[in-house]
Amino acid sequence: MQTDAQVRLEDVSFTYEEASSPAVSHATALIRPGEFVAVLGHNGSGKSTLAKLMNALYTPTEGNVVVCGYDTADEKLVWEIRRRAGMIFQNPDNQIVATVVREDVAFGLENLGVPTEEMIPRIDKALDAVRMTKYADSAPHTLSGGQKQRVAIAGILAMEPSVIIADEATAMLDPSGRLEVLDTIRMLNRAKGITVVWITHFMEEAALADRILVITDGEIKAEGTPAEIFDRVEEMQQMHLDVPPMTALADVLRKEGMPLRRGILTVEDFVQEVEKVLCPSKSAT
């Protein structure tokens, strides 16, 4: 038993009530404090179910999910788990409860029974961390998608969680909103040491994580650093996942005999490598 795990999945299976096959089957994984872990899978792979298992919204039909040392199967611990493992959902509109930004951030604190005097500094701090202080008194429907998601993050942050689980939090946003949200989350991960479980089907986002779990048909099929994962190009393609274009290109070139290093993810990586191969003298200087 490892005690330093933030989220621990022990042979977890989950079957929806009317479904014949499990949405998640025999998943075992370990997420350490301060890690940024991406869970990568295509639509219907069971990745959202996995997220809900980590927040005690679902309890596993088999196996155990342990979050911050609390077992999600224990009904008495549900609130302890949810205040420590905050969750952000896909649709920015459907997770904001109040009619004013500040009050929405307060929602979680109100639920926890935090005294009013203590609430105000915590709300201000949370809004400041996601750079939404300016909008504290705005109505949610006047904000952009990215801003709404940042408000949702602030709402979680005010509860001082140790884990943030983002269930496709950028899927409904435009590219600039996506960047906004991703930057905010990465900043929180680095500056505050909050563990992040980033559930996504975007390769580019997964590539930014410390570690990737690949999930297909409810099973965790692969695990490793982004470079390790995307290097298994053919395997990923079989799982209907798109490998980042530069990785795929490097793979093709490597097969043709070009001595490129493994684990190329971005255009910059690729350019550097190709330069090294084509004009070794230039890159040496």
Partner 1 sequence: MLSNITMGQYYPVDSRVHRLDPRIKLILTIVFIVCVFLAHSFVGYLLLTAFLIMICRLSCVPFRFLLRGLKPLRMIIILTFLLNLFFTPGEDVWLAFWIIRITREAFLQALFYSLRLVFLVAGTSLLTLTTSPIALSDGIELLLSPLRRIHFPAHELAMMMTIALRFIPTLLEETDKIMKAQMARGADFESGNLLSRARAMVPLLVPLFVSAFRRAGDLALAMESRCYHGGEGRTRLRVLKITRNDWIACGVLALLLALIILEGIFLKGVLF
* Interface positions with partner 1 (CB under 8 A): 52, 55, 57, 79, 82-83, 86-87, 89, 91, 93-100, 102-103, 106-116, 119-120, 123, 139-142, 155-156, 159
Nearer to partner 1, 119 or 179 (CB): 119
Min dist CB 283 to partner 1, Å, is: 50
Min dist CB 173 to partner 1, Å, is: 16
Min dist CB 99 to partner 1, Å, is: 5
Min dist CB 116 to partner 1, Å, is: 5
Nearer to partner 1, 114 or 187 (CB): 114
Nearer to partner 1, 89 or 270 (CB): 89
Min dist CB 167 to partner 1, Å, is: 10
Nearer to partner 1, 139 or 258 (CB): 139
Compute the half-sphere exposure of residue 93: CA atoms within 13 Å on the CB side of its CA.
4
Min dist CB 71 to partner 1, Å, is: 17
Min dist CB 165 to partner 1, Å, is: 9
Min dist CB 109 to partner 1, Å, is: 7
What are the backbone dihedrals phi and psi of residue 88, each rounded to the nearest 5 degrees, phi first? -115, 135
Nearer to partner 1, 28 or 94 (CB): 94
Nearer to partner 1, 97 or 279 (CB): 97
Place of tokens 């899978």: 41
Nearer to partner 1, 62 or 103 (CB): 103
Measure Cα distances from 118 to 114, 124, 129, 137 in Å: 7, 11, 17, 19
The CA distance from 45 to 57, in Å, is 18
Listing DSSP states for the chain in one string gives: --SS-SEEEEEEEE--TT-SS-SEEEEEEEE-TT-EEEEE--TTSSHHHHHHHHTTSS--SEEEEEETTEETT-GGGHHHHHHHEEEE-S-SGGG--SSSHHHHHHHHHHHHT--HHHHHHHHHHHHHHTT-GGGTTS-GGGS-HHHHHHHHHHHHHTT--SEEEEESTTTTS-HHHHHHHHHHHHHHHHHH--EEEEEES-HHHHTTSSEEEEEETTEEEEEE-HHHHHH-HHHHHHTT-PPPHHHHHHHHHHHTT--PPS---SHHHHHHHHHHHH-HHHHH-
Nearer to partner 1, 168 or 251 (CB): 168
